[in-house]
Amino acid sequence: MPCPRTCTLPTPAQAHCSVCHHTFGGITGFDAHRRDGECLNPATLGFVQRDGVWRTPMSDDARQRFASLHTLAEG
Ligand SMILES: [Zn+2]
Ligand SMILES: [Zn+2]
């Protein structure tokens, strides 16, 4: 199925679904939205869309690491 103009073109690291036409931040996210040959709504999986790309939310661990990096950069 060809993509409508509204589709977000994926970078080589990202993955675009030719069925539901969502773009994912990586193959892991793409795999997560496929269940039994069907597409799940990424929003119901807890994904967050940013710039037209669905990303898995940061884990608490990653968020803490990011926060400390941010603090260092500012300080
Ligand atoms: Zn899909
Ligand atoms: Zn598409």
Chain segment 37-74, per-residue pLDDT in tens: 999 999 999 999 999 999 987 666 777 787 787 676 55
Which letter, b or e, does each residue of 43-64 get, where b requires 16 or more Cβ atoms within 10 Å of its Cβ? eeeebeeeeebbbbeeeeeeee
Query: Quick one: DSSP state of residue 9?
Result: P
Whole-number Å distance, alpha carbon 1 to ligand 2 midpoint, is 8
Q: In this structure, which residues have their CB less than 5 angstroms from ion ligand 2?
A: 3, 7, 21
Of the candidates 44, 36, 42, which has an alpha carbon nearest to the alpha carbon of residue 17?
A: 42
Tell me which ligand sits closest to the C-alpha of residue 31.
Answer: 1
In sign, the C-alpha dihedral spanning 36, 47, 62, 11 is positive
Tell me which ligand sits closest to the C-alpha of residue 7.
Answer: 2
Residue 62 has a pLDDT of: 72
In sign, the C-alpha dihedral spanning 64, 70, 73, 75 is negative
Tell me which ligand sits closest to the C-alpha of residue 30.
Answer: 1
**pLDDT band (50, 70, 90) for residue 7:** very high
